Amino acid sequence: MSKKISDYIISKYGNNWGTETLHVLSLEKLDDDFFNVLDQEIIKICYGKTPRDLSAVKKKVLKLINKGGNFKKGIVSELLMILYLTTKGYKQEFLFINLEEESFKKGLDGLYSKNNKHYVFESKSGDRITKESKKQFFNDKIKLALKGLEKSTTGKNENVWNNALSHVQLASDNESLINKIISYADDLENEKVESFKKENFNVIPAATLFFDNCLTDWKNLEVKDLDTIDTDYLLLLKNEYKSLNVILFSKKSLNESVELFKKYLKK
């Protein structure tokens, strides 16, 4: 009987990574318990401290999902990530909804805090088999997420910290974090590039893969998926950043998840 990825990662990399550094997750189906938790959290997830009507918030998210395409992948994967990280003790310090446009947030994918530390989050998602019939692995998506984090943490993305400031002021009461984001936004405007060094940032790159068009791989999710991870590269980056947490999330079906989300959002 083949090992599951979670078994493999604990046995092979546990000593190198530790329990708070590499998170390997798989989820077959969303159940009622999941949506009960989401129902309690969705207003705060989307609009932070701003009181909103639950039915209005659900209609907003439903409109975004109905846009289809990459919106579906992004919404489903990032909602799953938010709920997972909050169960691990990370506090969401950003808005899921972008206030200026009919979309979910842009700029930084996320800001979290835990034990007086601040974390910059970047998520990339995709299908196991692309439209071009190419197979994608976790390594592909993690490296894309790391490229996004590098732009943010080295000051190469000009708008990201102003956008982050707009969100954190509405989502958070963490004065330390708010002041830190103000400082980054001002330093970027003043071209103080010395503030933007990887060693100043705790980061969380995340990868989600959906297996709708490759259920054979889902049924046989074996160690080869982890063998594609460039662990030497990640361990090197772990030493470059203040801290590096990596999340690998496999979800059996995007289409099934979207239908379940729609059913919940229409209630």
Write down the pTM of the prediction: 0.88
Structure tokens at 151: 């732009």
Q: The tokens 């197979």 sit on which residue?
A: 135
Give Cα 108 distance to the centre of its chain.
Answer: 10
Cα–Cα dist 176/225, whole Å: 39
Q: Is the CB of residue 45 less than 8 Å from the CB of residue 82?
A: yes
All residues at 6 or more sequence positions from 53 whose CB lies less than 8 Å from its CB, including other chains: none
Residues in the chain: 267
CA separation, residue 250 to residues 113, 180, 184, 244, 247 (Å): 24, 33, 34, 20, 10
**Tens-level pLDDT at each residue, the chain (267 residues):** 344 444 444 444 444 544 457 788 888 888 888 899 999 999 999 998 889 999 999 999 999 899 877 788 888 999 999 998 988 889 999 999 875 455 555 567 899 999 999 999 999 998 888 777 788 888 889 899 999 999 889 888 777 898 888 888 888 888 999 999 999 999 988 988 888 999 999 999 999 988 887 777 776 665 556 666 777 777 777 788 988 888 888 888 899 999 999 999 998
What is the spatial distance between Cα 231 and Cα 142, in angstroms, rounded to a whole number?
A: 11
- Dihedral (CA of 21, 24, 27, 31) sign: negative
